[in-house]
Amino acid sequence: MQDYSLNDQEANQFIINYEIKDNKIEINYANGDIKEINYSVDNEKRILEEMENQVQNCQQFKSKQEKTLGKYRKKNAKAWFYVELFLFSILGGALGLTLVYSILFMGSTLISIPEILKIIISATSALAAILVPYPLGKAVASKLKINDIEATLEDIEKNELFLENKKKINKNIKKGNCLDNVAQETKEIIIDKENPSLNINDLDKMQLADIENILLNIKRNKLLNLKQENDLVEDNLFTPEELTKDEEYTRTKSLN
């Protein structure tokens, strides 16, 4: 998972992920430290519980990131406004000067239109080189920050969605076509296990869309099984339309 710590002290204890190597567990922390402990089922279980607690306790961090995201979006919009303003002003001024000259000095031998155009283009380029880089740099920098924050918030959403549906996913993951439309890397993570399942550490190599697709496949399988067994009630719990409707099915409905 990404770093959800609020300060350096929290970062010292915040677990990003872990790897099992040579009967050892290598734990990677947000501050860059790596801690190695002996492998045991209990040790791995404690690490996973701590990682799950980090997701469940990240609401303050999440709220702070959402506020910061709003600020950077405003900065980005403002920066692009000035970039466009300067460019349109410079280009508009150049076209205006060309038009005025062509009207006032039409037929004059003082200076030809091609020559005045060269002068205006040179001046325009010089003005653009002076005025545009600063707001453009601000726009690019704020966009990069926006991308980072959005990636972190999506990581939180992915982990929260998994925790809300962990039992359901691991109960159904070996059934039917639960891995349809899931990234190949995700399939390999699950298939390579002796007992196919997912935990919070596995999600480090997965995308939000993978979890959403697994849950959608579980829902589809549920509907198909109900149809096959003729157990649908008259006021259907699920309809074919629900399967294609873009809704927050994973947060509002639970499949047993």
Q: What is the pLDDT of residues 198-252, one digit of tens each?
A: 999 999 989 999 999 999 999 888 877 666 555 444 445 555 455 455 444 444 4
Domain boundary among 55, 70, 88: 55
138 and 75 share a domain?
yes
Contact predicate 233/227, CB 8 Å? no
Assigned domain for 198 exists: yes
Q: What is the pLDDT of residue 250?
A: 45
Range in 62-76, 108-122, 166-180, 191-205 with the lowest mean pLDDT: 108-122
76 and 99 share a domain?
yes
91 and 30 share a domain?
no
115 and 95 share a domain?
yes
Assigned domain for 2 exists: no
Q: What is the pLDDT of residues 100-109, one digit of tens each?
A: 666 666 555 5
B/e letters for 107-140, b = 16+ CB within 10 Å, e = fewer, are eeeeeeeeebeeebeeebeebeeebbeebbebbe
38 and 91 share a domain?
no
Strands (E), the chain: 15-21, 24-29, 34-38
Number of domains in the chain: 3
Assigned domain for 78 exists: yes
Contact predicate 86/135, CB 8 Å? yes
151 and 170 share a domain?
no
